[in-house]
């Protein structure tokens, strides 16, 4: 599994011209599933995501996590995190999980996250064509993988 994390000032997801998820300061997490991923990994990723000390303390040092700042999290499923661009000019997605497995692990990741955060979890719509807007803070962008 891969989670591409961006520290944001704000972010939102729109599907069919309707906002389905939006946050203020916090984390935008793009979630991708490999075809060989196992359900046990979601718990580790949820804990890692909520524990990342990437927000500034009063001295300006990255020392606080998303719950310390009472920030929000927006999770968006994104199978293209497992695209390969090694051969040719068209990405292949052979390493991405099939939708059935990806959906199950996405749902498990969300359920693992909920008890770890102080605010309601925001999401996109699995498998939908989504428009995402964000204001990256820093910028800070990290890749979590297990």
Report, as residue numbers or ranges, the catalytic residues.
78-80
Longest dimension (CA), the chain: 48
How many angstroms separate the Cα of 56 from the Cα of each of 26, 65, 83, 85? 12, 9, 33, 35
How many angstroms separate the Cα of 100 from the Cα of each of 28, 63, 110? 23, 38, 16
């Amino acid at each position: 599994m891969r989670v591409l994390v961006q520290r944001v000032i704000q972010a939102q997801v729109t599907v069919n011209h309707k906002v389905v998820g939006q946050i203020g300061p916090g984390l935008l997490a793009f979630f991708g599933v490999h075809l060989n991923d196992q359900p046990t990994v979601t718990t580790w990723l949820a804990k890692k995501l909520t524990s990342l000390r990437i927000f500034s303390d009063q001295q300006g040092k990255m020392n606080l996590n998303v719950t310390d700042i009472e920030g929000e999290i927006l999770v968006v499923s994104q199978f293209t995190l497992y695209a390969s661009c090694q051969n040719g000019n068209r990405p292949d997605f052979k390493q991405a999980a099939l939708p059935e497995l990806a959906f199950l692990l996405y749902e498990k990741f969300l359920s693992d996250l909920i008890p770890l955060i102080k605010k309601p979890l925001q999401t996109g719509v699995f498998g939908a064509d989504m428009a995402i807007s964000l204001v990256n803070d820093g910028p800070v962008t990290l890749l979590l993988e297990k």
